[in-house]
Structure formats: C-alpha cells, structure tokens
C-alpha cells in the first residue's frame, strides 16, 4: 500500500512530495539554523548553474527541505527575496514521467514554465508551474534519475 506522501492522482502518474524549497540570503547561516531545528547534519550542498542557485538539501522524514541561495542577481531566487523576502518559495512533486506530466498539465490549461524539462539538482529533470495557475503556489515537478 502507498505510504503517506505518495499518491496516484491519475492513471500512470505516481507522485510524492520530493522537497519544499525555501529562499534564503545566506545558505551557510541558514543551514546552521535548520540543522539545529531538524536535528540533522546529513546535508548535501550543490550548485545548480542552470537555475543560478546554490542549494542545501536536508532530509526530513519521507521528504526534504531545500534551502536556496541565489548565485546571481538574475536568479529567480534573488528576485523573489527582493520582492517578498526570505521564505517558502516552492513545493516540489516527484513524478514518474515528467514529459507525460507536462503534457497532462498543459492540456488542462496550466501554465508550465519549461515545456521541455531542464537539469536540476542531484541529476533530476525539472519544470515549474506558474503560481497564477496553482492558487499562488509555485509548483516544481521533478523526475528522479533512473
């Protein structure tokens, strides 16, 4: 039986919350704080040049918290922090077949930001759904590496 956090929402698309992204100004400083809050030192740090961010992934039960620091002023994270301040930036759902999910959500009329998936952190392929299509939440879809 599927565990909590896993759901089959439609035939052929298995989903779970992969991570929750939090936009931060200072990755190391925030990491020190979250290591204490989550009582976890098992962290992976990675640069994602395609998204102009440095990220730290902190495991949290069946999912993870992703801290994102902008690597340049052109990063979407830099713009978000400038306009809204630090805080929850996106929720990421892992899907089995990202191209199938993009096709399905586009056909439903949702605004998919990358019609072709792009490389994200840890070898994943990613896309986003615009927050105006999802009642104010930036939704990331990711397909894990095989």
Q: Which window, 4-12, 93-101, 102-110, 133-141, contacts ligand CMX (CB under 6 A)?
A: 133-141
Grouping H, G, I as helix, E, B as strand and the rest as coil, residue 83 is: helix
Question: Is there a contact between 119 and 125 (Cβ–Cβ < 8 Å)?
Answer: yes
Q: Does 128 bind ligand CMX (CB under 6 A)?
A: yes
Smallest separation, CB 11 to ligand CMX (Å): 28
Q: Does 58 bind ligand CMX (CB under 6 A)?
A: no
Give the distance, in angstroms, between the CA of residue 7 and the centroid of all CA atoms in the same chain. 18
Size of the site for ligand CMX (CB under 6 A): 20
Tokens encoding 21? 């992204």
Q: Which window, 6-14, 36-44, 94-102, 131-139, contacts ligand CMX (CB under 6 A)?
A: 131-139
Of the two residues 136 and 145, which places its CB atom closer to ligand CMX in the complex?
136
Residue 62 Cα distances to 17, 22, 51, 89, angstroms? 8, 17, 25, 20
Tokens encoding 16? 């779970």
What does the alpha-carbon distance between residue 73 and residue 76 come to, in Å, rounded to a whole number? Answer: 8
Residues that bind ligand CMX (CB under 6 A): 21, 48, 51, 53, 68, 76-77, 79-80, 89-90, 113, 120-121, 128, 130-131, 136, 138, 140
């Amino acid at each position: 039986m599927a565990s909590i956090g896993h759901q089959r929402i439609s035939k052929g698309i298995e989903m779970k919350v992969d991570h929750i992204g939090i936009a931060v100004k200072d990755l190391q400083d925030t990491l020190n704080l979250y290591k204490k809050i989550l009582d976890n030192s098992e962290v992976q740090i990675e640069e994602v040049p395609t998204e102009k961010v440095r990220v730290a992934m902190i495991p949290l039960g069946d999912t993870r918290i992703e801290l994102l620091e902008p690597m340049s002023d052109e990063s979407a994270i830099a713009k978000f922090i400038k306009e809204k301040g630090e805080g929850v930036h996106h929720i990421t759902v892992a899907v089995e077949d990202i191209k199938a999910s993009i096709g399905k959500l586009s056909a439903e009329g949702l605004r998919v930001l990358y019609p072709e998936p792009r490389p994200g952190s840890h070898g994943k392929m990613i896309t986003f759904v615009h927050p105006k299509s999802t009642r104010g939440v930036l939704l990331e879809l990711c397909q894990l590496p095989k």
